[in-house]
Each structure stands twice: as C-alpha cells, then as structure tokens.
Structure 1
Amino acid sequence: MDGFSNKIDENVFIIAATNYKENIDPAIIRAGRIEIHIKVDNLDKDARKYFIDKIIKTKPTRGKFDMHKLLTYTAGLTGAELELISKEASFYCIRHNLSHITQEVLIQEINKIKYGEKASHASHEKTFKKTAIREAAHTVITKLLMPEVKIKQISVTPRNNKNGFITNNFDDLKTNMTIEDIKHRICVSLAGRIAQIKKYGSIVGMDMEGSPDLQHAINDAYMAIAHYGMDTELKYINIKSAKKKASETNEVQHHDQKVDEAVERWMTESEERTVQLVNDNWDDIEQLADLLLDKEIMYEDDLRDIESL
C-alpha cells in the first residue's frame, strides 16, 4: 500500500475491520494509508433494545417482558450474541415442546451465552456452599462500599464457565473513578475468597474459583498505580510514558520493580480492610448465602426484601 491515487477517475478507498488493532503494523494505519479509525464499542442500551424488540416482535412470545431487566442482563453482549440468544430460545422451545418464548426462557438463554451452559453433573455440596458464601460476600461488600452499583441477579447454579455469577447495572457504572472507587472495587473482588477462608479455613476455602477475582483486583491496583498515577509513594507516574522515554533497560526494570512493590502494598492493605469488612458483616453474608442455597438464583427484588441489605 503506497497511498492513494490523486486521479479523479480512481476513487478507491479501503475499509478494514479488526478486533486486534494493537497487533497491526503501524505503517498500515499511519497518515496517508488507513488513517481514519472508528472504534465500535459494546452495544449501548438503545442498540440492545433493538435486538430484544426484534426477538419479542418477530418470535412467538407469551407473557410480559421487563425491558429494563433484559437490558441489564444483556450488558456487554454483541449483536451476534444477541442473535444467537434469539435462535437458542427458539431451539429451547422446540426441544421442550413449548409454543411460545417467555421472559424466563429468554433470561435462561442470556445467562447461558454470558456465563456458560448449566453443568449437567450434580454439584458437590461443599462446592455449592462455598459458591454461595463467595457470591454472598461479593454482594454484601458491594452494597456496603459501592451502593451505586445495583445488583440485578445472583446465581449459584453451576455452569461450564463458572460456579456462580453476579449481574449488575453495567451501563450505569462509573467511567471516571477516584482512588477510593478503585480501592473499593479491589475489596469487593477480594471479599469472596476471604469469606470462603473465614468459613472453611485456608486449606479448603482457597480454591481456583477465586482466580478471576484476583485478576480483577491486581489489574485494578496495577492500572491505578502504573497508568493513573494514584499511588501516594510513586505519585504521578505513567509506566507507558516512562518506558518510552527510558533509554536503558535497567531504568525500565527499576520502574517495573517499584510498581510491583506498590501493587503488593495495595493488595496487602486491601486484604486487611476486606477481612475487617467481612468480619463486621458476617451475619449478613451467612444469611444471604443460606437464601442462595435455597433459591439458587436471586433477583433485585429478592435482595430488596432483605432488611439488612
């Protein structure tokens, strides 16, 4: 690609699409080549409403559909995934000899696409209880530290991708967070494993299900320190800029080491705070866990009925 012709009769332009812009050779996307870049983000509420309306209006449906609830549950899904949900809902009705798609069927298929198929094998009782404690802890600490986050659904039903999950108002979450907001998120991420350890001890309570939560917590701490300059000791640094300006390898390593030390400090402080929060709110966590074991899935209205929450 050597640029574009200036001849009037050669109106040629190139359109390309990728999910991995970071892997493209910079020479291809510099000025004079593919120079106009358009980012297509996750579908917003209006876009998701279009797909949900299409399902409701073009498929045989029955009963009421809560659009607000469906928009919340589908946050983060692509158009292709919503089209797949439409097909899977139809297939479900065929397999179970149902004449119409209901909201319950639609939500079931949404959860399947987002979180995986329900596990066919019987869940081990202790694993089931650990999942309930973990998701209850996430919920209670979220309610305490991040009241603006509206939890719409909690499930402890085992699925292929995970043993439990929480759905919140993804579209309404803060995009410009303070250091306090980020530290609150870290505590919420750590609450699940800490609650499991409190209930079952460090040997049984520490399992692989906590891995995604730890990844989220460490990523939040790293971004706050290395990219947003929020650490009180390292102060206003941006590791990406620092690496660009660094001419010596040892200078880059110096920055990385300092950031790693700061991340470790943040995680230790957050762990100590979360342990205290879990201890202080243990009765609420156990109460919610017991309800989850009984219901398997709870919705926003169910949580509203619990006075302590």
Structure 2
Amino acid sequence: MSKYGKEILIGTIPVVLLFLLFIGVNIIPVIFMTVLLASLFYMTRMRGGNMGMGGERRGKVRTPAFLTFDEIGGQDRAKKELREALDFLIRYEEIQKLGIRPLKGILLTGPPGTGKTLMAKAAAHYTNSVFMAASGSEFVEMYVGVGASRIRDLFKEARNRASKENKDSAIVFIDEIDVIGGKRDGGQHREYDQTLNQLLTEMDGIHTAESPRILIMAATNRKEMLDSALLRPGRFDRHIEVDLPDKKGRLHILNIHAKNKPLAEGVSLETVAEETFGFSGAQLESVMNEAAIYAMRDDLESIEQRHLSLAVDKVMMGERTDRESTKEERDRVALHELGHAIVAEIVRPGSVSQVALSPRGKALGYVRHNPQQDQYLYTKEHLQQQIMIALGGAVAEEMFYGGRSTGSRNDFEQALNLVHTMMDCGLTNLGIIDRQMVTKEELMKENAAILEQLTEETRKVLEQHRSVFTQSLDILIHEEVLSGEQFRELLAGSELPQPA
C-alpha cells in the first residue's frame, strides 16, 4: 500500500465510525472485528516474512562454512568410505561407462559427538556442490501437511540454487533424521508419517538423467529407530559408521584442537590420548578447552600436563565441588575407594594411578587408573575381574561398618551391566541364550549366583590386605590424594596373591 493510501485509510476509519455512532449503530462489534482482522493481517505478514512457499522457513536452511576432511580427526575409515561415495558425484561420466548407479543417499550413524555433522560439511567442499542443511525438527509442525511441504520445497530450492550457481550437484543434509524418519505404526494420518512419505517420494525421484544431481545425506545416533523403507538400498545406499576414535584418532583430534593453544614444554598429548579411551571427538575438544581454563585460573601463559589431567577428570566425572562432609562420611568414602583400588591392583598389577578423596561431580571420591591399551574384545576372566573391582567398595564398607551405603549405587549398576554382557555373550552357566526367551526367574537366579560368587572372591582378596586399609586411611584423610606409587609401596608390605 502506498504512503497516501495509508493516510487516506487512517483518516477514513474514524469518520466512518463517528457516522455509524451518529446514526445509532452499535459500533463495539465493528471495532472488535476491525481489531481482529488487523491482528490477523499483521500475523500473516509476519509469518510470510519468515516463511517461504509451502511453509519453508527462510534462514533455517543453512549453508555452513567450508570444512575439509583433513580438519576432521580420528575417522580415517569413515572418511575414506565417504570420499568413495562422493566420487560418484564428481566422476559421473566415468561411473556411467561402467554402468554404476549413483548413490541416492548416505546415512551417517554413530554415537553423539563423533563428527557426523562435520563430515557432512566437508562433503560440500570436497564435491564443490551446493550444500543445504536442515534439522529433522524443522519439518515437524502441529499442522498436517506442513512438514511434507517443507520437504518438497527443500529439494526444489536445492535444484534451483544449483542451477543458478552453475553447479552440477547439490547435497541436502538432514541432521537428526530420526525425528521424521522413525518407524511408522500403521497410521497414515499422522504428521510424521506424511513428512516421511514425502521424503521417501523425493528420494525415489532423485536419480534422473537431468542436471543438477542431488545427493541426500543424513545423520543419526539412533539408527535402530529408523523406518525400514528409509534404510533399504535405493534410498540410503550407504550406511557409514562414524564410531568413537581409537588411540591414533584421539591423538589426531587432540593435535587439531591444540593448534591454537600454548602448551608447556614436555606436555605429552599421547599420554592424554591413552587416558581418554572411549572419549568422543566432542569430549576431546572439551578436554583441551577445560585445560586452557585451568591454566587461566592459575595465571599461567601455557597449559601444563597437570591441567590436562584435571581436564580429563572433569570431562569424565564433573567439576570438583566444595561439598562438606562429616568425618565418619569421609572415613567411609576413603575405605570404599581403597576397596576399589586394592582389588584393581591385585587383579591387574600397576593399574592404579591415584586414589582421591576430593568430591567431583556426584562422586565423593574416585580411583584413577593408569591408561590401558584400547580393547574391544573381553574374555570371561576380564569381565569377572571388572565386576570384582566394581564390588570392592561395597565389600570394604561391609568389612569395616557391617553394611553398605548408597555410595555403591553406580558400582552395582556397572556390575549388573557386566553380568548382562556375560549372559548375552554366552559366558555364563546358562550357555548361549536370548535373554528375551529366558524366564525372569532363571535370569535372576544366574545373576545372583555370579554376583555372590564374585563378592566372596572380592572379600577374600580384601581380607588378606586388611592392614593396607589402616595404613592408607590416615594418608588419604589428611592429604586427600594417594598416588599409585605410594599405594603400591603399602601393598608391597603384605603378601600379594597371584591373580586368579
């Protein structure tokens, strides 16, 4: 509307209202309807400014900054597999000669924080493609049909942008695809189902002889929740596992995040890589960041090894707290942690790095172990030893106090999970079983038998070293930290039995 048109409208409305009032018309309903229509008009304009055709939100489809595969650490196998898949876009004429059908979709799966989204960003730089990113939650609305409309517009815009920018291909990336790609329950009227159906339809129409070519990439850490129609060949042809990094990968990630941080002389990132088995890339980035924060707290210009050790503890267990406790509680916690440490040192000599009484996160104390080699296969003996270490704290409390405390809750959860692993892997007296096909009574009976046997073995080990508790307790209470060397010297004074 022009400037003069607005002025005429503003001047006309009061005149009309005064005229209606003069002739005796009740103008309250008229005013109410006018305000309501004006509000609807305003909301429609605001929604139109943020929405594109079909309800697509402008600004939600993002084009991230370029990232290369070299800047992503710890995923050599996944990067190699992804590059091979992306070569189908780059070397299109070559694969046509061999009769290879281009891939329609690539699904990146794996635990959170392993770099799935980073790899999708690197794919755009590698292929020189138009790259459009969206999250699964952006397609979910309470209004039926809106999500499906946004899917259509997303692919349409990808084709249009590729044509305008003279690109041969476009990559559409949907993060957290399990939000819209979950298993259907048979109903066809839910908004999620309609959005998924539209996505399946678009993927079926992706492979055409026309340019530009479109490849869809998606990421999820809950692959088991996805609908089977989405996972079949011809839709998501490649499922690439982006797993937790091994020691070499962890070292690579640490070096990447250490480039902009001043490290003191003698700092060994390899030691940190050994201590962080099971850490994701995001956790390793947090370790480097927290180490820098510790250095800043100490007013130092460089990060020392102790800062990195503190950062590992913080990421693993949480920040150190100032929680006050009674003397009896501190004694109980100290004996509890010494129980863990004694069993660990007996079954795996040299494994204890430190016994600490300082509260950190929800833990009132903890035992830090020396880094072990990365291990992915476990024997029955190894699992039993791990259960004994977990039970050592509760057994120590029983020895000195005649009962347990709530501090053993996490230890018992760990022990039960290990027993479940043994059952699933056929390492118990039940043999090779499916736990879903065995009665709960049988499972409980076997579970109790395993834990009772290992509890008694743990008790025997600790009773043989009762003197170590009393010798270590005073040091731990006064200094709050007992180093691995000090602890092993105390153990050396007693007769060490050979590991079972």
What is the TM-score of this pair, normalised by structure 2? 0.53
**CA-CA distance at 1:146 after TM superposition:** 3.2
Residues 63, 103 of structure 1: 8 Å contact kept: no
2:392 counterpart of 1:194: no
Match of 2:274 in 1: 72
Distance in 1 (alpha carbons) for counterparts of 2:207 and 2:374 = 47
Q: Is 2:423 the partner of 1:235? A: no
Query: Structure 1 counterpart of 2:425, which letter?
Result: Y
How far apart are 1:275 and its partner, in Å? 1.8
1:120 aligns with 2:304: no
2:246 and 2:374 in contact (8 A); partners too? no
Question: Equivalent residues in 2 for 1:132-143 (5 A)?
Answer: 132-143=334-345
- Looking at structure 1, the residues matched to 306 and 448 of structure 2 have their Cα atoms a distance apart, in angstroms, of 44
**Is residue 2:222 matched to residue 1:38?**
no
Higher RCO by CA contacts (8 Å cutoff, separation 6 or greater): 1
What is the correspondence of 1:213-224 to structure 2 with a 5 Å cutoff?
Answer: 213-224=411-422
Q: Match for residue 291 of structure 1?
A: 475
CA positional deviation for 1:302: 4.1
What is the Cα deviation at residue 74 of structure 1? 2.6
Matches within 5 A, 1:163-178: 163-169=364-370, 171-172=372-373, 174-178=375-379
Q: Does the 8 A contact of 1:48 with 1:71 survive in 2?
A: yes
TM-score with structure 1 length normalisation? 0.82
Which residue, out of 270, 280, 283, partners 2:464? Answer: 280
**1:237-285 CA distances to partner (integer Å, 9 max, x unpaired)?**
233xxx4xxxxxxxx4x53331222111211222222222221222234
From the two aligned structures, give the one with the greater strand fraction: 2
Retained in 1: the 8 A contact 2:339–2:392?
yes
Distance change in 2, residues 1:23/1:59 (3 Å): same
Runs of 5+ unmatched residues, structure 2: 1-199
Give a deviation string over 1:80-138, Cα, whole Å, max 9, x none: 22222333333334444333322222222221121111112333322222222122111
Secondary structure of the structure 1 residue equivalent to 2:399: helix
Distance 1:216 1:274 in 2: 16
Q: 1:153 is matched by which residue type in structure 2?
A: Q
- CA RMSD across the alignment: 2.7
**Structure 2 residue identity aligned to 1:156:** L
Cα pair 1:151 1:300 within 8 Å, conserved: yes
Contact 1:72 1:152 in 2 (8 A): no
1:73: Cα distance to partner? 2.9
Letter in 1 for 2:319: E
**Distance in 2 between the 1:153 and 1:72 partners?**
16
Is the 8 Å Cα contact of residues 45 and 71 (structure 1) preserved in structure 2? yes
3-state secondary structure, aligned to 1:185: helix
After TM superposition, the structure 1 stretch with the greater mean CA deviation from structure 2, 65-74 or 276-285, is 65-74
Deviates more, 1:135-144 or 1:149-158: 149-158
- Preserved CA contact (<8 Å) 1:153 1:297: yes
How has the CA–CA distance of structure 1 residues 157 and 64 changed in structure 2, closer, same or farther, with 3 Å as cutoff? same
Deviation, structure 1 residue 193: 0.6
Separation of aligned partners in 2, 1:16 and 1:112: 32
Measure the CA separation in 1 of the matches of 2:260 and 2:270. 19
1:180: Cα distance to partner? 2.5
Question: More deviation in 11-20 or 259-268?
Answer: 11-20
Letter paired with 2:467: D
Q: Shift of residue 172 of structure 1?
A: 1.7
CA contact (8 A) 1:222 1:259 kept: no
Counterpart CA distance in 1 for 2:359 and 2:285 is: 24
Match for residue 246 of structure 1? none
Deviation sequence 1:61-85 (CA, Å, 0-9, x none): 3342244432233332222222223
Shift of the alpha carbon at 1:170?
A: 5.5
| Structure number with larger C-alpha Rg | 2
CA separation of 1:230 and 1:55: change in aligned 2, threshold 3 A: closer
Change (3 A) 1:229 1:88: closer
Q: Is the 8 A contact 1:187 1:274 kept in 2?
A: yes
Q: Tell me how far apart the structure 2 counterparts of residues 195 and 286 of structure 1 sit (CA, whole Å).
A: 12
Name 1:261's counterpart in structure 2. 445
Work out the percentage of aligned pairs sharing the same amino acid. 24
Q: Distance in 2 between matches of 1:121 and 1:104?
A: 23
The change in CA–CA distance for 1:231 and 1:301 in structure 2 (over 3 A counts) is: same
CA contact (8 A) 2:339 2:393 kept: yes
Structure 2 residue identity aligned to 1:125:
K
CA distance in 2, matches of 1:296, 1:35: 55
Q: Which residue of 1 aligns with 2:454?
A: 270
70-79 or 266-275, which moves further after superposition?
70-79
Distance 1:219 1:84, change over 3 A: closer
Residues 61 and 176 of structure 1, relative CA distance in 2, 3 Å threshold: closer
Structure 2: which amino acid aligns with 1:220?
L
Structure 1 partner of 2:96: none
SS of the residue 2:320 aligns to: coil
The amino acid that maps onto 2:421 is M
Partner-residue secondary structure (3-state), 1:71: helix
3-state SS in 2 of match to 1:258: helix
- What SS does structure 1 have at the residue aligned with 2:360? coil
